[in-house]
Copies of this chain bind each other. A is one copy, B any other.
Amino acid sequence: MRNDYLIAPNPENAALTRIVAGMDHGGSACEIAVVEERPLTIFLNSQEIVTVMTIGDFPEYLATGFLRNQGMLQAGERPDSVDYDEELQTVVVRTRRATDYEAKLQKKTRTSGCAVGTVFGDIMESLDGLVLPDATVRTSWLYRLAHKINTTPSLYLAAGAIHGTVLCKADRPLVYMEDVGRHNAVDKVAGWMVSNNVGPDDKILYTTGRLTSEMVIKTATMGIPVLASRSGFTAWGVELARELGLTLIGRMRGKRYVCLSGEDRLVRDADAAGIADEDRRLHRKGALDD
């Protein structure tokens, strides 16, 4: 199954987790695997844009996707160069076009908390007039995707405390990114798409995280018409998805899910009665992590 992916999680990568000694509930010494979390500072041309906390894989994709999802790289624009300096923990993205987001960065509309990271007003403006592509989503794909993704070896299953986002095409998961922040995981997917010139029209985005306004905005910014999650919704996430014409599917567990927006893209070809309930073993380790 692993071979289906273009990029899959690599829980064996020793740089991404660390074994930490502690005490368990019985007072016995124990060792557990915990995910890494490192600062990465992103530059656009000569301007320092942001410092994000990341697990540290795919810094180039993260930087490129972050800038794209912030509207600092335009749709269709590919960077001239993307240079990662491991020692300085920086990525410098260079574009042919001169950029100046100094004014934008000084706007006080910083967002905070988990629903974070975009200069909201600007983003909403940039989505004005956005039309997401027609697409059909077979419900049989959704079940196969959920099953494949949930049974893929991942840092989530190995160490917990991490989010996953998967770019899919029909019933095939293509690129499965994980990160300590779910926005980073999405941004890494976006960066992969920009860097490899991959179009969004026939794609489905799957996330382990909640379907908040920000997740909806990022998915729409990427041009992807369908966003699915095993987690729940926020009211504004639903409202925005409906305004943007995004298909929004949540609470996917076993045979169950709920579609709260863009229902018209669904083709109901799956027989839910034939789908098994979720294997409880999938809930181990990080299952309740945020």
Contacts and interface: CB of A to CB of B under 8 A. Distances in A.
Interface string A97-141: 000000001101111111111001000000000000000000100
Given A112-B52, A289-B210, A232 B24 contact: no
Among A48, A212, A233, the one with the most B-chain Cβ atoms within 10 Å of its Cβ is A233
Interface stretch (A76-84, A167-175, A194-202, A252-260): A252-260
A260 B161 contact: no
Nearest to A242: B20
Among A17, A230, A238, A288, the one with the most B-chain Cβ atoms within 10 Å of its Cβ is A288
A34 B237 CA distance: 10
Given A20-B260, A51-B120, A180-B115, A34 B110 contact: no
The size class of the interface chain A forms with chain B is: 35 or more
A182 B37 contact: no
B163 A232 contact: no
A129 to B, nearest CB: 22
B26 A272 contact: yes
Given A212-B180, A234-B161, A290-B182, A23 B259 contact: yes
A117 to B, nearest CB: 4
Among A38, A110, A179, A255, the one with the most B-chain Cβ atoms within 10 Å of its Cβ is A110
Contacts of A32: 233, 251, 258, 260
Given A24-B258, A37-B213, A287-B287, 15 more contacts: A20-B260, A22-B260, A25-B257, A32-B251, A32-B258, A34-B233, A34-B234, A34-B235, A34-B260, A36-B235, A53-B116, A114-B114, A161-B210, A161-B234, A208-B288
